[in-house]
Chains A and B, each alone.
Chain A
């Protein structure tokens, strides 16, 4: 158990819909990372927050947004979903920037 909790574990939704993925980091960790993993693209960095502030952005689509709340949990919002958004979405946390990251079990999103 990494100490990082992601909910829900599975999500099936229709194209055009909006979903919210939730992540609770390990106790005391200030950094939260979001990644998308698909078979052909590997683990793609989306966005990172440190102590409530956005600090790094990867190839995150404009339809996607995230935030980190004062209690340090984070949410990833995906809107106007397309079939190609189907993937595993991982959240990870670390104590500081670029230190060892601990991953949650992921949310498997299926867009039908």
Chain B
């Protein structure tokens, strides 16, 4: 069964702290994603990685960085947390190659349970 695990369900941090959010997937997926989810704004892509040590900025990368040293693990880093980064953070992964055939669903993403981060 598909499994994406986020290390914390709830986190409370102080303004200015460095925050690490960890995500691990056990599906051998090439792609991994970090989103933040806010009421009325839906899911917004922060960063994306399509291979180990490779990353691409999403729609809202400012104030965040990422690290992917191993295929199964993708970390989101808030260098200096601010109150406007209080949000629900979601990690997802997808299979780049898919199964056989032209219509293999290679863009289907599988999500973790989320980390609700509060920055005080």
Question: Does B bind A?
Answer: no
Residues of B within 8 A of A (CB): none
Which residues of chain A have a CB within 8 Å of any CB of chain B? none
